[in-house]
Amino acid sequence: MRLTMLPSTFWMVTNYTCNNRYLYCYASEGFRVFDESQDVMDYTYATEVMQEMKDCNAEHCLLIGGEPTLYHRLFDLIRFGYSIGLKMKLVSNRRRLADRSFVHDLKKAGLVHSSVSIEGATAEKHNEVTNTDSFNESCEGLQNLVREEISCNSILTISLLNIDDIVPLARLVHEFGVSNILYNFSLPSVGKNGIESCYSPDPQQAANLISSAYLQLKKEGITIGLFATLPLCLFDQNVLQQMTEDKVIGRDYHCHVFYGTGAAFEPNGNVLPCTHFVNSPLFNAKGPDSHFSYKGRFAHEWEEGIHKQFIETAWRYPSEHCKTCKLWGKCFGGCPFFWMNYHPDNFITKGVM
């Protein structure tokens, strides 16, 4: 039996509306089974979820979308979360944060952190990937967070479209005064028409790209971090050791999905193991009266219900080599979404001994 923990972090999808048009976004209308009437979070339902998660000892509430800064009751939601002791955070494209007074008000409402997505190091690239003319606004938004002294990190989702921007992007945001520079890889997604490749680099290419960027940036005194989506055996082991020492690869390098320490809540009531599971919910938590129907019993459902079965299924070796790998349990052989598009045996050819 696997250990299922309660979420310490949860993502609240406030709305799926977005002011960008990413070419590969798993949350966009082109990918999701789209129902306009269910696209915006009901405020009361959101507060009921937040209270229940707080009662389950969750600490961090991340507002995500779509674009959460477009949510009509954003400030109320942040104030409510703050008032019950949650650490309120945003995952945003920052366009609305170009208005400094908006950022100031977010801080006053109780926002403690914002994760900000930037999809390229130049206006040309960022605008191509987001399908908008938003680079300048986004840069201003990031700088406003720094000016208002709100903790923030940048995220570049590396896809085949922006592989040349990995190093220049780190230099750019470093100049803005951002020290927490994170990278994520575009993952294949289950779209409404089946599996979509999402311009995803293959896992080995991804490991090579980020290793060489890390080594280059280290020479320049810029530290980066990495989301836990790649099998660790794909890295050169000397580089991996350096990355571990430099905390590029964190102490608990694993995705929260495998231990159940994160959950995502959608406006239509669906509960997901992570936001990427847009079309594949675990269960629905909205009752016929539109209220949260798991009040006082979310923990039991999470630990004993379908989520437990999900964890049992998720803990499987993608490759025979993972069985003897000393990093198993820290690494889970890569994000399962990669393996919808690529075969693990073509990449995981050894374990780490």
Ligand X SMILES: C[S@@+](CC[C@H](N)C(=O)[O-])C[C@H]1O[C@@H](n2cnc3c(N)ncnc32)[C@H](O)[C@@H]1O
Residues in touch with ligand X (CB under 6 A) = 18, 22, 24-27, 64-65, 67, 91-93, 117, 155, 157, 184, 186-187, 189, 198
Which residue's CB is nearer to ligand X, number 184 or number 244?
184
Q: List strands edge to edge, sheet with 151-158.
A: 224-226, 180-185, 151-158, 111-117, 87-92, 60-65, 9-15, 262-265, 270-272, 283-284
- Tokens standing for residue 320: 């025979």
Q: Which residues contact 102 (CB under 8 A, 6 or more apart)?
A: 69, 96
Sequence length of the chain is 353
Q: Which is nearer to ligand X, 4 or 270 (CB)?
A: 270
302-325 burial code (b ≥16 CB/10 A, e <16): bbebebbebbeebeebbbebbeeb
Contacts of 140 (CB under 8 A, 6+ apart): 94, 97, 98
Q: Which among 311, 314, 295, 292 has a CA at the least distance from the CA of 303?
A: 311
DSSP string spanning 180-230? Answer: EEEEEE---EEETTEEE-TTPPPHHHHHHHHHHHHHHHHHTT--EEE-S-S
DSSP E strands, 23-125:
60-65, 87-92, 111-117
Helices vs strands, H then E, count in the chain? 11, 12
Q: Which is nearer to ligand X, 25 or 331 (CB)?
A: 25
Q: In whole angstroms, how close is the CB of 335 to ligand X at the nearest point?
A: 9
Q: Which is nearer to ligand X, 48 or 119 (CB)?
A: 119
> CA 48 to CA 44: how far, in whole Å?
6
CB of 20 to ligand X, least distance (A): 6
| Closer residue to ligand X in complex, CB, 26/135 | 26
**In terms of CB distance, is 118 or 234 closer to ligand X?**
118
Based on its alpha-carbon atoms, the radius of gyration of the chain, rounded to whole angstroms, reads 20
Cβ atoms of 313 and 194 closer than 8 Å: no
- Using an 8 Å Cβ cutoff, are 67 and 93 in contact? yes
Which residue, 117 or 261, is less far from ligand X as judged by CB? 117
Q: Which is nearer to ligand X, 184 or 208 (CB)?
A: 184
Minimum Å gap between C-beta 219 and ligand X is 27
Q: How far apart are CA 88 and CA 83, in angstroms?
A: 10
Q: Residue 264 and residue 250: Cα distance in Å, rounded?
A: 22
Rounded to the nearest whole angstrom, what is the least distance from the CB of residue 110 to ligand X in the complex? Answer: 19
Rounded to the nearest whole angstrom, what is the least distance from the CB of residue 65 to ligand X in the complex?
Answer: 5
For residue 291, the minimal CB distance to ligand X (Å) is 26
Identity of the residue, 143 or 186, whose beta carbon is nearer to ligand X in the bound complex: 186
Minimum gap (Å) between residue 64 Cβ and ligand X: 5
Smallest separation (angstroms) from ligand X to the CB of 27: 4
